Chains A and B, each alone.
Chain A
Amino acid sequence: MTKPKVATTSLAGCFGCHMSLLDIDDRILKLVELVDFDKSPVDDIKTFTGRCAVGLVEGGCANEENVHVLQDFRNHCDILISMGDCATMGGIPAMRNTIPLQECLDVAYKTGVTVYNPDNVVPNDPDIPLLLDRVYPCHEVVKIDYHLPGCPPSADTLWEALVALLTDKPMELPYELIKYD
């Protein structure tokens, strides 16, 4: 029997959730027994090689590329999981949501107190993805099957959730694993 495949990605996130995933330590050996990794920063596969059982998405959508990747994930994954607060709610990047886009760019590249930009140029290369008007949590862009809260969700949380899904057992997330205060 071929192993189910897992894909992961970080959109507008900080890779903290991926770090947390690596925090499962030696359990990663068990994980590779359970699954193969497809498109993921873990193995540096850039494009999907086929259909995946589970997709883990870190970060929300801040630009058009994020949306593109997320839609690609939806098209390739049976189960899509929002991993962490940015994917679930927008998180820190969404703090810009109450500020008009132009103002954000001005502060970031021109008027901010720590900005050094003698030419006063706002980067605008055609290769740079266009920003969205605001940061969207993943479920506002595509259908998301599960949300794992946390900044980041702990390694144990991710482990329990993944293993339960892959072995078709009920997910047991005790209070300690989803309590964040």
Chain B
Amino acid sequence: MNTSLEQEVKSICASCDNDRTRMMDIVRAVQETLGYVPGHAMDLIASELGTHRVEVESVVSFYAFLSSRPQGKTVIRLCDDIIDRMAGIEHIAEVFKEELGIDVGETTDDGALSLEFTPCIGMCDQAPAALINDVPVTALSSDRAREIVQGLKNGEMPKKLVHRLGDGNNADPLVHSMVQNNIRKRGDVIFSDHTSHDGLKKALGMSPAEVIREIKAARLRGRGGAGFPTGMKWDFTRGAEGEHKVVICNADEGEPGTFKDRAVLTERADLLFEGMALAGYAVGADTGILYLRAEYAYLRQYLENVLKERRDKGLLGKNVCGKEGFDFDIRIQMGAGAYICGEETALISSCEGLRGDPKNRPPFPAQKGYLGRPTTVNNVETFCCAVRIIENGAAWFANLGTHGSPGTKLLSVSGDCEGPGIYEVPFGITVHELLKEVGAENCQAVQIGGPSGQLVGPEAFDRKIEYDDLATGGSVMVFNNDRKVLEIVDYFMDFFIEESCGYCTPCRVGNVLLKERLAQIMNGKGTPEDLPYLERLGNTVKTASRCGLGQTSPNPILSSLQNFRSVYDELVKPASDGMQPSFDIAAALKTSEEIAERKSTVFTTA
């Protein structure tokens, strides 16, 4: 590395106070400057931060958006989720390959452009989509793909490829994006225009215990999907021993088919930050962190500016809103492309500058979270709800939705429907009512809650979307009658295999075994015994994995076995002779016959 680059890396480290826990920011900045994080840069970072190279390397190798090998100056990441596949991303990929003269996973000879696939980037409502560096390009067509490659080859900046701006704040110069909000239904809580903007002020007039009591009275539950009572979580954090408590906002919505936080971050950033400050006051925190997924980096400048404006107005910083002794500020922590970081303890690891590995519980984050401090991690939507509850009172909120699931829920609907986009609906809406609303009454299946949720068919369409029935963090994917159920399941298993952090064997290995057996069934080589095998193994993976990923990763198989049993039954055939239909002796002997230059005398191998 030449001296100037060395200087650059050193100054990046210095700008983060040579603080090892800021590793994510440091390697991201180095990647941005050099285009990748080469080995000698890792050595240098390690020595500047007083740590070991392996600490740096483990971070660089973990995250999809970081690379230790040279990448193109511009990286094109095609969104490869199931919805984008249905919308023809594979065809778009062909066009990119042809125009660039490279395969997916390669870089052009001049080192200018790389082409990759990436899991859901949160644009399912405007698929097929891609990220060009940080810039999302949506509703791609072959012509548009050719135009983009031409533009990039002519040296245009990715941002210049955006000709038509999206609605709302997407057109803000700091966002400058073609993304459409697609907010199709505004409810009373998040996207309501009737707001007094005084939730935080009102909260500061109450005691923290009163604020928490109000949140509890509203029966607010976490919007990420698991539905833990927010008031209780705040209470635990408030009661935990330790200084400098932390409020983290989980804006890492990586569950395929989820994009509701995108719209909240774009249109309700003030409400979110207000909610974080309110939570900070309630739990007695002084630090706020917004963990923003790398796919939403295009919103960062805008969000930083909103934070700055709030600081200028005294809504963040020392003595927030003039409240003596309440100091609270928020920093943005960028992610780097890892689904697992949506899991709260993995997210905390990531904020601490580590690989996004989940942590053991207990201790729970409320006891010992970020850097060992009591920490509350909440969903973007949860913080927004909290503000509205304080604004309008617990009773108002508790009267919306159902008893066990009060309030409204943001659903991001995509796939085979007329109106893909975001719907704010009261909890308790049936699948059927929702499908009517989105224009998809004649469909075969709906995936509720993303791959980790449930795949349900028409006989379940009168079930309710709420925590006690069909829980969802927001993802609703609609599949029409032409779609193949097992292909969807197969795709989801691929996703989990790719995103497993690898720590727990049942998750790392079990998901691969599940997928292999599923593939056998899909190839017509399955036997009826394979179905109980899938159930047994699926339940083992669920029980024996320590974080939410492993505990839900067999769901695509388990829920389709439950709800689409006939699809499996039609494919499996009993093997009456006791032989495994999946074992192919001819294929197993092929290499050997080639090497030995003779045919098997035991088996006929054609």
Contact = CB atoms under 8 A, between A and B. Distances in A.
A65 interface: yes
Contact of B588 (A65, A133, A143): A133
Interface in A54-71: 64-65, 67-68, 71
A102 B595 contact: yes
A71 B579 contact: yes
A64 B601 CA distance: 9
B595 A105 contact: yes
Interface residues of A, number: 26
With a 10 A CB-CB cut-off, give which of B529, B577, B591 has the most chain A CB atoms.
B591
Interface string B565-583: 0000000000101111011
B592 A131 contact: yes
A136 interface: yes
A43 interface: no
B602 interface: yes
A134 B584 CA distance: 12
B583 A126 contact: no
14 contacts: A74-B577, A74-B578, A75-B577, A102-B595, A105-B595, A130-B589, A132-B592, A133-B587, A133-B588, A133-B589, A133-B592, A134-B588, A140-B582, A141-B579
A129 interface: yes
A140 B527 CA distance: 12
Contact of A130 (B575, B578, B579, B596): B596
Interface in A138-179: 139-143
Contacts of A101: 591-592, 595
A128 B488 CA distance: 45
Nearest to B529: A143
B579 A74 contact: yes
Nearest to A145: B578
B593 interface: yes
Contacts of A67: 585, 588, 602-603
Contacts of A124: 596-598
A68 B583 contact: no
A172 B163 CA distance: 73
B51 interface: no
A100 B585 CA distance: 17
Given A101-B595, A126-B598, A64 B579 contact: no
A142 B578 contact: yes
Interface of B: 527, 529, 575, 577-580, 582-583, 585, 587-593, 595-598, 600-603
B592 A143 contact: no
Contacts of B595: 101-102, 105
B580 A64 contact: no
Contacts of B579: 71, 74, 141-143
Contacts of B575: 143
Contact of B580 (A133, A134, A142): A142
Given A130-B589, A140-B582, A64 B596 contact: no
A140 B601 contact: no
Given A64-B602, A65-B602, A126-B601, A143 B580 contact: yes
Given A136-B588, A140-B580, 8 more contacts: A64-B585, A67-B603, A68-B603, A101-B595, A133-B589, A140-B583, A143-B578, A143-B580
Interface of A: 64-65, 67-68, 71, 74-75, 80, 100-102, 105, 124, 126, 129-134, 136, 139-143
With a 10 A CB-CB cut-off, give which of A80, A136, A141 has the most chain B CB atoms.
A141
Nearest to B592: A130
A110 to B, nearest CB: 13
A101 B583 CA distance: 18
> Mostly helix, strand, loop or mixed at chain B's interface?
loop
Contact of B578 (A75, A129, A132, A134): A75
A132 B600 CA distance: 11
Contacts of B598: 124, 126, 130
Given A140-B580, A140-B582, A129 B596 contact: no
A68 B604 CA distance: 12
A129 B582 contact: no
Contacts of B527: 143
B589 A132 contact: yes
A132 B588 contact: yes
A140 B588 CA distance: 12
The 9 closest A-B pairs by CB, nearest first: A130-B592, A74-B578, A132-B588, A143-B578, A64-B602, A141-B583, A131-B592, A101-B591, A133-B591
Contacts of B592: 101, 130-133
Contacts of A126: 598, 601
Contact of B602 (A68, A74, A100, A105): A68
B514 to A, nearest CB: 16
A126 B580 CA distance: 27
A64 B600 contact: yes
Nearest to B575: A143
B140 to A, nearest CB: 39
Nearest to B603: A64
A80 B579 CA distance: 12
Contacts of B601: 126
A101 B595 CA distance: 9
A65 B580 CA distance: 17
A128 B398 CA distance: 77
A52 B269 CA distance: 74
B513 to A, nearest CB: 12
A136 B585 CA distance: 11
B296 to A, nearest CB: 39
Nearest to B598: A126
Nearest to A124: B596
A108 B588 CA distance: 20
Contacts of B587: 133
A139 to B, nearest CB: 7
